[in-house]
Chains A and B, each alone.
Chain A
Amino acid sequence: MRFRRLAVLLVLLWSLLPLLWQLYTSLRTGSALISPQPGLSGWTLDNYRQILSGDPPFWRFLLNSTVVGLASTALTLLLAIPCAYGLQRQPARTRALLSGALLAAAVFPYVLLFLALLELARRFGLANHLLALSLPYAGLTLPLAVLLLGAAFRDLPPELEESALLEGLNTWQRLRWVLLPLIAPASASTGLLVFLFSWNEYPIALTWISRQELLTLPIAIARIAGSSVYTVPYGAFAAATVLGSLPLLALMVIFQKPIVAGLTQGAVK
């Protein structure tokens, strides 16, 4: 029992220490960070003040990322749910074939695509449009989302839909009133994965967006500069990272229950 507690503590330290270190760094002055002896002095909120008073202020990037994340999530779920439902109704062989193709697409390293995507953006004038970013994001996360939701549909007993069919519900009504509420946990966890991807995505955001006020978080953080070329603004980086993680933390807390339910769904009949 004691050993188990110790093991849990170790794992927690392992995964939380970097985050705690960021939090610590964000609250220290530059000189306190590099001083050899740790002292009680040198605590400050200046790092936060600095990035929040930048031009544009940091909350602008948070907003940008939130907008792109929500749009990508909505678009992905909107497309993935009907796809997953349709996939489920295919004969076993077609389904296996399509699932294989989706899996291949899901594991493809998307970084290799960013040049082609850049060409597309230029061609269709999508550069420097915040919402346009959600097009490649939804496209890239769609295969995994369809697979995850497909598994959720497959776990539902077929009699549920048959019963609704016999009651005279049409396809849309069966999906809306019977199936969707039952795959809500899976939809929530899938949606969160999409949001996370969009929140963290770097290469496409870097190449599609150049206007300062439209940058998403990862790009904006990378562009934080020190007072001179020779200073690395550790404190400001850390403060930006902390602020950028808070919304994710909030989402996790809100969706914790349905996500865990979604992850274990179908494990026990």
Chain B
Amino acid sequence: MSGVQRPQGLVLEGLERRVGSNLVLDGLNLSVAPGECLALLGPSGCGKTTTLRLIAGLDQPSAGRIRLDGDDITRQPPSRREVGMVFQSYALYPHLTVERNLSLGMELRGLPRERIAAQISSVLELLQLEPQRRRRPAELSGGQRQRVALARALVRQPRLFLLDEPMSNLDAQLREDLRAELRLLLCGGPQPVVYVTHDQQEAMGLADRIAVLHQGRLQQIGSPRELYDQPANLFVAGFIGRPRINVLPAEAGCIRAVRPEHLEPLAEGGLPARVLLREWQGASQLLQLETPHGRWRMVCDGRVELAESFGLGWPPARELRFEAGSGRRLH
């Protein structure tokens, strides 16, 4: 036994995927600790689902390595990687009952019957699916199907959880409820969790850390707070935070940007703004403003009464600055 401690969790080293002449994923490096939930966030086509499929072994990388608890699993067949994956479409077996959906894999691997039954019962209870035990997927609601998919990933006690936009087919209310449930179920267990989503709110709510991908490249990885307060570049600044950040035109090689919630009306002077649209949301209000720099967004307290036109200002310390060409943030 060597004294060197093996790195635990999931490690991606220079992971690359080429399809034809197209570089879908360009040298991705990241690691996910045991029990950590990492969200892969980005617009569609950014490479997040590709990354997940590479980790699962459903696609092969053109270069790079995947390590799980120190083992190199890059060339290991997917059936031996012991990952629990939840697909966007859930991919439940339509001809099998909930119970058989969960047990099929374990049965065919020849696990003892009593152990399978015990594991299934505990997972069904955990996810409150006991009453649906003998139903087929077609007889379940969207939320129940999603929970069955989750249960199927959980029941095998995998070394790694992979979730591909598991909530994109659910309505907003259900999504919010399940977000909390998912966090309690998956995160904090012994396994690393990789969660793919294009919804920044979902990523912020669920993940310990977020990796933002764009055009196959990692833009930034960090806690939700870091991404929000210290975005690495203009893309991350624009992608994280709703409503979207306001951007000023480039000036002497520098682009300045201000978050909508940092804007405030001034008694006099400032950037002239006219209210186009007011969206009252109770605690806060969202204003669409016409300014010399185009349409800006502003968020302020719901009780504030604003004139139709006013001057806009913001504390200089709140302003984010980016290099004009590269979009990198300047410190």
A168-B109, A182-B94 given; A162·B58 CB < 8 A: yes
A160 within 8 A of B: yes
- Chain A residues 129 to 174 lying within 8 A of chain B, measured CB to CB, are 157, 159-160, 162-170, 173
Which residues from chain B contact A169 at a C-beta distance below 8 Å?
79, 104-105, 108
* Count of chain A residues with a beta carbon within 8 Å of a chain B beta carbon: 17
A162-B58, A181-B95, A182-B95 given; A167·B105 CB < 8 A: yes
A165-B58, A167-B156, A168-B105 given; A157·B80 CB < 8 A: no
A220 within 8 A of B: no
- Chain A residues 177 to 235 lying within 8 A of chain B, measured CB to CB, are 177-178, 181-182
Interchain nearest-CB distance for A156 vs B (Å): 10
Interface class of chain A by DSSP: helix
Which residues from chain A contact B105 at a C-beta distance below 8 Å?
164, 167-169
Chain B residue, CB-CB nearest to A182: B95
A165-B79, A168-B79 given; A177·B104 CB < 8 A: yes
Are A168 and B80 in contact (CB-based, < 8 A)? yes
B62 within 8 A of A: no
A178-B93, A181-B95, A182-B94 given; A163·B87 CB < 8 A: yes
Contacts A164-B105, A166-B78, A181-B95 known; 13 new A-B pairs at CB < 8 A: A157-B89, A159-B88, A160-B93, A163-B85, A163-B87, A163-B93, A163-B152, A164-B104, A165-B78, A166-B58, A167-B79, A168-B108, A173-B108
9 smallest CB-CB distances across A and B, nearest first, come from A167-B105, A159-B91, A163-B91, A181-B95, A168-B79, A159-B87, A173-B108, A160-B91, A165-B78
Taking Cβ atoms with an 8 Å cutoff, the residues of B that contact A are 56-58, 78-81, 83-85, 87-89, 91, 93-95, 104-105, 108-109, 152, 156
A-B contact pairs, 7 of them (CB 8 A): A162-B56, A162-B91, A166-B85, A167-B79, A169-B108, A178-B104, A182-B95
